[in-house]
Amino acid sequence: MTVFGGTVSAFVAELDSAIDAHLAWTRRVLRCAVLRTFPGDDVMALDAHCRCRFGQWFTQHRETFEEVDADVASRVFDEHLEMHDAVRALCSDLMAARRGSACDLDLFEARQSALVADLAYLKTEVLARSARFDPLTDLPLRYGLEEEFTRYRALARRNAHELVVMMADVDRFKRVNDAHGHAAGDRALRHVASILRAHARADEPVFRYGGEEFLVLFNAVDAAAAGHAADRLLQALRDAPLELSDGTTLQLRISAGLAIVGPEESMATAVERADAAMYAAKHAGRDRWLWGAG
């Protein structure tokens, strides 16, 4: 899973670094209290919450924080702003040789504690999400599939639709690695993932199931509609060759198997039937899909 244009580990390192910078900021506030030294514009300016390192980093990536949890991201902004306002008031009093307000001190301590707690929550959420997403393709992994399967089955029942599992495997993928190297193989997997995701509809979640295998759930009005959906994805890949850095063009294809999920059928059984149909499609010539038995 990529976060803020980088890896999860880079995000965690940057978050920890920004928090450490705020701890150093707090030490300057303490020096102001003890020695009456000017704490800096990132404490005293009216827009100090935008000048400190954490504030700059959070503002730059706020939209992505909101994707993780919009309510908590909004709270973090408010807590950080109010913490700065309280500290500015305290330092202003101290610099003017006045006794600081207990209310300002209480507000600072409360907002700082809340900020630390909310940032810890966001960090935990990002790390939890990273375990559910494939870092290569940025697709959800199979570990979250059971929950999605249950949710889409319920949706299909409410709409009197069919829930259909599609298992797909990249054809002759080993040849890509052997002929062009594993870096090209990684690019090929990212390409297939991006095409499937771009041409899947909102009610057609795509997962990286493992290796060069992908799984798609269709919430279709009937079997014919599910077949049309599979045709759409296979055709999208045919229409989008991958050009490598050396100018080589790869015509990537997938073979797929479809299985209509029975009323009381388990996910494991439905996937097994779709998987068997996928291998049958490969034996039948590849670059096609077949229905699973059952």
Nearest Cα neighbor of 255 from 292, 281, 280 is 281
Q: Note if 265 is an active site residue.
A: no
Q: Left (φ > 0), alpha (ψ -120 to 50) or beta: where does 288 sit? A: beta
Torsion of CA 144, 147, 148, 150, to 10 degrees: 150
**Tokens found for residue 17:** 């670094």
Query: Residue 90: in which H helix or E strand, if any?
Result: helix 62-95
First to last CA, the chain: 36
* SS3 label, residue 7: strand
Q: How far apart are CA 57 and CA 3, in angstroms?
A: 13
Cβ-in-10-Å burial (0-12, 13-18, 19+) of 238 comes to middle
- Alpha-carbon radius of gyration of the chain: 27
Alpha helices by DSSP H, listed for 138-291, are: 145-158, 173-180, 182-199, 223-238, 267-283
Q: Which of 268-285 are b and which e, b meaning 16 or more Cβ less than 10 Å from the residue's Cβ?
A: eebbbbbbbbbebbbeee
Catalytic position from the list 212, 213, 264, 272: 212
Q: How far apart are CA 216 and CA 267, in angstroms?
A: 13
List residues with catalytic annotation: 212
